[in-house]
Amino acid sequence: MKFRARISSKRFLELFIQVSGTVARLAKVCVLRVCPDRLCFCPTGLLGEAQLWGEVRQEAFHRFCMEGVSEEFNEIYLELMAEHLARAVRNAGNASSLKLQLTNKQRPCLTVAVELASCPGHTRAMVHDLPVRVLPRRWWKACTAPRVRASDVSVYLPALKTLKNIVEKMANVGDRVLVEANLNGKMNLSVETDTVTIKSYFKNLGIPPKSVLGLSQGKDPENMVQVRVNNRKLLQFFDGQQINPTVALCNILSNTLLHLVLVHEDTSLQYFIPAS
């Protein structure tokens, strides 16, 4: 097995720092899945049954080389402490490059080398050897991307900062928040107790083109599709995510799942919160 990658673009360095930081905020342990065309983050031990899936595609790297377990199973699964990775790359924002390499230093390690410019013509490197556990193939199934059926409704999210402020206030009122949306780009968030009901309304959010193409004849676009989720799990996502997405989607499977998707260039984060 071999893995070596290098990021030299400043914007992708910052994105990798943000994705690593988001994963570390949401889970202690992470499985880094190395594929021929991307790196995938599969955190373990998330709150309840909520799941996070992050991806950084090969195009974000200046160099990306890997050889998996075999030609048939050309992947590598590395379990490591998420905070260790986030801490190792945290100071790479002003670096000239960031290198990742699978090494063997008495035990398997993910070696992270941050190259910093010092005086003209010279560089210095900060090297972190992060202990990892190479997962055997029989455990791979537990670290694959969550599979969900097509959502019943999909809308673009409003400003994440606004949503976070709303969810924080609702978390002080009730344990569960009702999220509902329709195919006309409307979305509502509400929390209800025996004594008070709080509801926020959003409109003209727009829906992805695929949702428009998938509209079935006779389906009323004003019908609201809803799911009720644990407020702490939803707030955990907004507290943890650090990227500034160019696309942010809310997908709802009626009374089953809230699926949030954030995309920025060649990186993406997906968060799955089951109904409660």
pLDDT per position as a tens digit, 149-191? 788 999 999 999 999 999 999 988 989 999 999 989 999 999 9
Domain membership of residue 148 (yes or no) is: no
Which stretch of 59-68, 75-84, 195-204, 236-245 has the lowest confidence by average pLDDT? Answer: 236-245
Residue ending a domain, choose from 122, 143, 164? 143
| Partners of 248 in beta bridges | 262
- Is residue 11 predicted with pLDDT exceeding 90? no
CA distances from 57 to 98, 203, 264 (A): 15, 33, 11
User: Do residues 105 and 55 share a domain?
Assistant: yes
Contacts of 55 (CB under 8 A, 6+ apart): 38, 39, 40, 41, 267, 268
Residue ending a domain, choose from 110, 143, 176? 143
Interval 193-200 mean pLDDT: 90
User: Do residues 14 and 39 share a domain?
Assistant: yes
Tokens of 160: 């994440």
CA distances from 249 to 71, 183, 210 (A): 36, 13, 12
- Is residue 219 predicted with pLDDT exceeding 90? no
Cβ–Cβ < 8 Å for 218, 166: no
User: Do residues 40 and 124 share a domain?
Assistant: yes
- Cα–Cα distance measured from residue 229 to residue 222, given in angstroms and rounded to the nearest whole number: 22
Number of domains in the chain: 2
User: Do residues 193 and 131 share a domain?
Assistant: no
Instruction: Supply the range of the domain harboring residue 229.
Output: 153-274
User: Do residues 139 and 187 share a domain?
Assistant: no
Tell me, what's the pLDDT at 213?
Answer: 46
Cβ–Cβ < 8 Å for 229, 47: no
User: Do residues 48 and 128 share a domain?
Assistant: yes
Interval 19-42 mean pLDDT: 92
Domain membership of residue 173 (yes or no) is: yes
User: Do residues 129 and 37 share a domain?
Assistant: yes
User: Do residues 120 and 227 share a domain?
Assistant: no
Cβ–Cβ < 8 Å for 141, 160: no
User: Do residues 61 and 33 share a domain?
Assistant: yes
Burial-class residue 103 by CB neighbours within 10 Å (0-12, 13-18, 19+): middle
User: Do residues 126 and 167 share a domain?
Assistant: no
Tokens of 100: 């990742």
Residue 35 main-chain phi, psi, to 5 deg: -115, 165
User: Do residues 92 and 165 share a domain?
Assistant: no
Percent of the chain residues past pLDDT 90, beyond the cut: 58
Tell me, what's the pLDDT at 45?
Answer: 63
Question: What does pTM read for this prediction?
Answer: 0.87
Domain membership of residue 98 (yes or no) is: yes
Of 231, 218, 229, 147, give the one whose Cα is nearest residue 183: 218
CATH number (domain holding residue 116): 3.70.10.10
Tell me, what's the pLDDT at 85?
Answer: 95
- Is residue 32 predicted with pLDDT exceeding 50? yes
The highest-confidence range among 9-23, 46-60, 67-81, by mean pLDDT, is: 67-81
